[in-house]
Amino acid sequence: MMRSTDPIRTIKGVGAKTEELLNGMGVYTVGDILSYFPRDYRIMPDPVKIADVKENAMNAVLARTANTPRTRRGRRVSVTVCKASDGIREIELVWFRIPYVKNMLTPGKNQIFYGKVIRRGGNLVMEQPVIYTLDSYAALTGRLLPVYALTKGISNGAIQKILGQILPEEPAFPQDPYPEDLRERQEILPLSDAIRTMHSPRDMEALSIARRRLAFDEFFEFLLGMQYLKGAGEKDPNRFSFADRAFLEDLLSKLPYELTEAQKRVLKETTEDMRSDTLMQRLVQGDVGSGKTVIAFLLMAWCSKSGYQSALMAPTEVLAKQHYETIQSYLALCGLSFPVILLTGSMSAKEKRTAYEKMQTGPDALVIGTHALIQKKAVFSSLALVITDEQHRFGVKQREALSKKGDKPHYLVMSATPIPRTLAIILFGDLSISVIDTLPADRIPIKNCVVGPSYRPTAWQFLQKEVAAGHQCYVICPLVEATEQTEAENVADYAARLSEALPDHIRIATLHGRMKAEEKDRVMEAFLQKEADILVSTTVVEVGVNVPNATVMLVENAERFGLSQLHQLRGRVGRGDAQSYCIFMSTRDDEKTNERLSVLNHSNDGFYIASEDLKLRGPGDFLGIRQSGVLDFQIADVYQDAPLLSKAQKEVKDLVEADPDLSDPAHVLIKQRLDAVIQKQLEGLNL
């Protein structure tokens, strides 16, 4: 009998090599692959005649090759070209970096070529077509096809094959943790039905119902986890005493700019917290560029002046280093000489040891770092304040671990993710909330435009022009590399095409989430040091980095991103003195998409944008468009599923009230899930 805890290699056809690849995707057991949900779904189009293809879209063409494929070395990549004909018209097929594609062509026989069609010169060109036999293609049409996130060596078909063996086996599914009455009250599907539907949905509606169940689960577990991790909810007494506020006033007079009213208000709220009877536990929400770092600096300096240490934790090395430099320069501006310590994972053992020592000998040090701050070896001597920047990247437990480092310090979270207050109260129940709702006045507004792919050559020329003027540019693509069955731009192929199109001296770097952390940091650092002119990247650049010399943000397939996410991306430019530009390239030319994207044209207010985004989305829009980043839920979307979030909150509240230690036999599975969640959080901590 197959069980969800069985190792994945017990599945027929999964050998040692496949197992290793699956492990790399976080799949170890049968249960793991059941919850490895599709990233997207697609419906394969019916094959068309070449005369009927739609430009700038995915097409399936029934044709046969009309000449011998030729592979040439392009300037940087190999390019394989071949003509295909359906007897009436011809289309050119182009593959980058896959010369072996030749072996998959069967001259003289009809095949299906599936890929994106563009017009180059006067000719139709299909890029990176996937090749099917007529039969294999016919088997794919007429249903919703799951599209999984893949790694090299594991195909979409391979995952479907494995699942094909598991889905019919009921005992392989995890048991539903909820009692019947809860399921009825919330009108949610049994767990195994929901999982099964996610992998092979009958139609859109079935999918939507299945997704709802799983989103509920994520919220429920998250909120339950918070309840038990948070403890009793009593605020701890404040044992610290801080210097006079006059010190802060003095610093303010030395800054190169005046704080905005919103910054002043947040400074007041936080300093009042820190002088109150209990410890501060506060969330500061401030749009990108609203100036949160200076608030961190002021509070940290105030700690030093009062004889205490403070810590600022950032989600990436690059960001930590940037904060380190910024804070040093602010201290210099203010004529202060408190010790500043940097602690990151990539530092050598010797550098780390030096940092640890300084933490022991500097009772008034400002400590800045990454996750390395919560490692066992990092011991603070007099920690009074912990600040985490871009909080959504950290788990609840991680922020708790950091605040446990000292003897219960004050605690501040800074986030650029605009979450409406009502949601924030649920998601960060234990935190007070401040909002920085205005931007510094002296900014040069970013020039925005929303365009279609026919504008791309012009956009590329524009990138070239900006680079010639000494500036740098970002290009964002939704995907890392080409996968079967997808038309969206990917970093690898895009960078290849761009480097073919632009002059050789323009340096193009790539960045994506599959790279190791050190690799990412190296690329980002190189971009920061102006060693690359154009950075082609996935949305990993969205977190807080500051490259003031970057003046263009070009987002490909903008229609696939949530507006909040696009707003965050836009926040990467417009940080220096030069005029900056944001180009949203949309391949979907319908009224609804245009209306959504045009919100970005006339607003620069993250909260407004998030709420408009929500309004403009229809019920079928839950796929494809997602806001990444907000607490990293896999399926649930904090904005779209807000009503579900309140429902889960009520269930959790009632449950905890009725059965605080979850000892009722009806709750035994819920208790097990909770223990698993806590265990996972602890493992993630790596203490």
Q: Three-class SS of residue 56?
A: coil
Nearer to ligand ADP, 576 or 624 (CB): 576
Please report how close the Cβ of residue 502 comes to Mg ion at its closest, in angstroms: 31
The runs of H, that is alpha helices, within 349-418 are 349-361, 396-405
Supply 440's token pair: 């510094």
Of 613, 655, 606, residue with least CA distance to 288? 606
When CB distances to ligand ADP are compared, the closest residue is 291
Answer for which of 196, 211, 292, 393 binds ligand ADP (CB under 6 A) is 292
Query: Which amino acid is it at 218?
Result: E
Between 387 and 479, CB nearer to Mg ion = 387
Among 4, 29, 197, 260, binds ligand ADP (CB under 6 A): 260
544 binds Mg ion (CB under 5 A): yes
**492 token code pair:** 């690898």
Minimum distance from residue 293 beta carbon to Mg ion (Å): 5
Among 33, 248, 416, 536, binds ligand ADP (CB under 6 A): 416
Q: Which residue has the tokens 């909120």?
A: 223
* 238 vs 322 by CB, closer to Mg ion: 322
**With respect to Mg ion, which residue has the nearer C-beta, 201 or 291?**
291
Question: Residues for the chain: how many in total?
Answer: 687
Considering the rule CB under 6 A, would residue 564 count as an interface residue with ligand ADP? no
CA distances 559 to 283, 562, 565, Å, are 31, 8, 11
CB 62 within 8 A of CB 45: no
**Contact partner at residue 590 from ligand ADP, Mg ion, none, CB < 5 to 8 Å by partner kind:** none
b/e per residue 298-322 (b: at least 16 CB within 10 A): bbbbbbbbbebbbbbbbbbbbbbbb
Question: Which of 4, 290, 417, 580 touches ligand ADP by CB under 6 A?
Answer: 290
Say how far apart CA 364 and CA 420 lie, in whole Å. 36
Tell the smallest beta-carbon distance from residue 256 to ligand ADP (Å): 8
Nearer to Mg ion by Cβ, of 80 and 568: the residue is 568
Question: Are residues 274 and 240 in contact, defined by beta-carbon separation less than 8 angstroms?
Answer: yes
The item of Mg ion, ligand ADP, none sharing an interface with residue 259, based on CB under 5 to 8 Å by kind, is ligand ADP
Closer residue to ligand ADP in complex, CB, 62/340: 340
For ligand ADP, the closer of residues 227 and 293 by Cβ is 293
Handedness of CA 184, 633, 398, 647 (dihedral sign): negative
User: How far, in Å, are 42, 271, 396, 478, 488 from residue 624 at the CA level?
Assistant: 10, 43, 27, 10, 11
Judged by CB under 6 A, the residue of 31, 38, 289, 409 near ligand ADP is 289
- Taking contact as CB under 5 A, which single stretch among the options 349-357, 400-408, 537-545, 631-639 is the one that binds Mg ion? 537-545
For residue 100, give every residue at least 6 positions away whose Cβ sits within 8 Å of its Cβ, in sequence order, or none: none
Residue 478 binds which entry of ligand ADP, Mg ion, none, CB below 5-8 Å type-dependent: none
Distance of CA 625 to the CA centre of its chain: 12
Rounded (10°) angle between helices 246-254 and 293-305: 130
Q: Which residues contact 306 (CB under 8 A, 6 or more apart)?
A: 240, 241, 242, 243, 384
Q: Which of residues 137-196 bind ligand ADP (CB under 6 A)?
A: none
Determine if 574 is a binding residue for ligand ADP (CB under 6 A): no
Cα–Cα distance measured from residue 222 to residue 224, given in angstroms and rounded to the nearest whole number: 6
Phi and psi (nearest 5°) for 117? -105, 130
The one segment of 100-108, 297-305, 436-444, 539-547 that binds Mg ion by CB under 5 A:
539-547
Instruction: Tell me the site size for Mg ion, rule CB under 5 A.
Output: 1
Residue span binding Mg ion (CB under 5 A) among the ranges 31-39, 112-120, 467-475, 543-551: 543-551
CB of 470 to ligand ADP, least distance (A): 19
d(CA 308, CA 300): 9
Q: Least CB distance from residue 287 to ligand ADP, whole Å?
A: 7
Q: Is 434 in the site for ligand ADP (CB under 6 A)?
A: no
CA angle 192, 196, 198 (to 5 degrees): 120
Check residue 235 and report its DSSP letter: P
For the record, the structure tokens of 93 come out as 């097929």
Neighbour tally for 364: CB within 10 Å: 17
Position among 31, 115, 286, 562 found at the interface with ligand ADP (CB under 6 A)? 286
Q: Which residue in the set 182, 251, 294, 534 belongs to the binding site for ligand ADP (CB under 6 A)? A: 294
Alpha carbon distance 260, 129 (integer Å): 53
Which partner from the list ligand ADP, Mg ion, none does 673 bind, CB cut-off 5 to 8 Å by kind?
Answer: none
Q: Which is nearer to Mg ion, 352 or 520 (CB)?
A: 520
What is the 8-class DSSP label of residue 380? -
**Binding flags for ligand ADP, 530-549, as an x/- string (CB under 6 A):** --------------x-x---
Does residue 257 belong to the site contacting ligand ADP (CB under 6 A)?
Answer: yes
Q: For ligand ADP, give the closer residue by CB, 291 or 409.
A: 291
Q: Which of the stretches 148-156, 281-289, 332-340, 500-508 binds ligand ADP when contact is defined by CB under 6 A?
A: 281-289
- From the list Mg ion, ligand ADP, none, partner contacted by residue 290 (C-beta under 5 to 8 A by kind): ligand ADP
Give the whole-angstrom CA distance, residue 596 versus residue 612: 8
Q: Is 251 in the site for ligand ADP (CB under 6 A)?
A: no
**Eight-class DSSP state of 541:** G
CB of 368 to ligand ADP, least distance (A): 14
Query: In this chain, which stretch among 98-106, 259-267, 272-280, 594-602 interacts with ligand ADP, using CB under 6 A?
Result: 259-267
The residues that touch Mg ion, with contacts defined as CB under 5 A, are 544
The residues that touch ligand ADP, with contacts defined as CB under 6 A, are 257, 259-260, 263, 286, 288-294, 416, 440, 442, 544, 546
